[in-house]
């Protein structure tokens, strides 16, 4: 067993440059949620080069590679979508031109979660070479739409693809520690109603931005008070978006809305995370559309 462990460790070390190359190739392809088609094709070619026994794309767009055809099933998973880079002027380099420095790779998605996917392919290479999957069907999934729709990809794999592995290893970044649970997440949208008037006489109106700001500041305090769970640690919450409407720049805004997206912790109910959006739904949709068309 010790000898086998050593062989795996030695081979993993040898494969480091190849795994780094695959990661860089994945980072080079922007793959925002819902736009993963190109990166899935790149990942598919990597699987083909390794010699997977079966590679396919399901109806949702998830990439599914299989090694072996044993009666027992295990799965390894990494999502292939990434969040947007935000304000590019705050990046030292282009987020989609990976830079290797000091043994680390920099670029959007290197940690969350293309690094996990590249490492999975390194593991698949070793498993195949050393014949470690006897009796097992090993599924390696490159899933889609995870960032915006937590859990949807695996709901589809389980319910539509009938993939029922005994165990799934998610390669989400966890500081190289094995984690055995996840806090979960709740998205909460809060809307406040204001009343518009001319900005020169704000006392005649009811400023929706002031109102939603008070809610946001209370949530900031709530975050500090969330409980510590024995297994999953402390709960967290954050206000992630604020929207508003108003007739003009010189008028008191008449509505505001925010979205709290919050990982839950330990005792699920007591520790929520929140993100808020301030605005009528129509405005939220319009903003999402415009950001979807961004590069």
| Residues near 112 by beta carbon (within 8 Å), at least 6 away in sequence | 82, 172, 173
Identify whether 146 is a catalytic site residue.
yes
Nearer to Zn ion, 80 or 279 (CB): 80
Residue closest to 260 by CA, chosen among 199, 186, 202, 205? 186
Cα separation, 191 vs 254, in Å, equals 11
CB 283 to Zn ion: min, Å: 28
113 near Zn ion, rule: CB under 5 A: yes
Cα separation, 133 vs 60, in Å, equals 27
Nearer to Zn ion, 58 or 172 (CB): 172
Nearer to Zn ion, 113 or 189 (CB): 113
Which residue stretch of 9-17, 105-113, 176-184, 254-262 sits at the interface with Zn ion (rule: CB under 5 A)? 105-113
Instruction: Quote the tokens at residue 188.
Output: 């909460």
> Could you give the angle at the alpha carbon of 90 between the alpha carbons of 96 and 289, nearest 5°?
65
Nearer to Zn ion, 26 or 252 (CB): 26
Cα separation, 193 vs 257, in Å, equals 9
112 near Zn ion, rule: CB under 5 A: yes
Identify whether 81 is a catalytic site residue.
yes
Which residue stretch of 13-21, 63-71, 107-115, 207-215 sits at the interface with Zn ion (rule: CB under 5 A)? 107-115
Beta bridge partners of 241: 259
Nearer to Zn ion, 113 or 207 (CB): 113
User: One symbol per residue from 142 to 181: x for binding Zn ion (CB under 5 A), - otherwise; what is it?
Assistant: ------------------------------x---------
Given 112, 146, 254, 257, the catalytic residue: 146
Cα separation, 123 vs 196, in Å, equals 60
Cα separation, 84 vs 80, in Å, equals 13
Q: Strand, helix or coil at 254?
A: coil
Residue with token string 């195949």? 128
277 near Zn ion, rule: CB under 5 A: no
Catalytic residues: 81, 146
Give the interface with Zn ion as residue ranges (CB under 5 A).
Answer: 112-113, 172
């Amino acid at each position: 067993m010790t000898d086998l462990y050593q062989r795996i460790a030695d081979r993993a070390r040898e494969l480091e440059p190849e795994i780094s190359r695959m990661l860089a190739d994945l980072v080079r392809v922007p793959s925002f949620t819902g736009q993963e088609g190109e990166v899935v094709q790149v990942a598919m070619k990597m699987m083909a080069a390794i010699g997977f026994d079966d590679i396919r794309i399901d109806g949702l767009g998830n990439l599914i590679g299989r090694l072996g055809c044993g009666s027992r099933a295990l799965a390894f998973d990494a999502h292939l979508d990434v969040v947007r880079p935000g304000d590019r002027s705050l990046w030292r380099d282009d987020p989609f031109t990976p830079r290797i420095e000091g043994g680390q790779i920099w670029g959007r998605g290197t940690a969350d979660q293309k690094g996990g996917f590249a490492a999975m392919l390194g593991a698949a290479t070793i498993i195949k070479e050393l014949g470690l999957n006897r009796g097992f069907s090993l599924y390696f999934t490159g899933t889609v739409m995870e960032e915006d729709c937590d859990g949807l990809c695996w709901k589809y794999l389980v319910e539509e693809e009938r993939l029922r592995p005994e165990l799934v290893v998610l390669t989400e970044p966890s500081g190289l520690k094995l984690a055995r649970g996840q806090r979960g997440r709740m998205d909460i949208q809060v809307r406040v109603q204001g009343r518009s008037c001319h900005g020169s006489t704000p006392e005649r109106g009811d400023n929706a931005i002031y109102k939603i700001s008070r809610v946001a500041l209370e949530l900031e305090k709530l975050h500090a008070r969330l409980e510590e769970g024995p297994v999953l640690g402390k709960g967290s919450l954050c206000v992630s978006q604020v929207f508003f409407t108003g007739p003009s720049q010189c008028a008191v805004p008449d509505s505001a809305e925010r979205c709290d997206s919050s990982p839950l912790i330990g005792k699920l109910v007591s520790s929520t995370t929140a993100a808020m959006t301030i605005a009528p739904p129509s405005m939220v949709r319009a903003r999402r559309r415009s950001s979807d068309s961004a590069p």
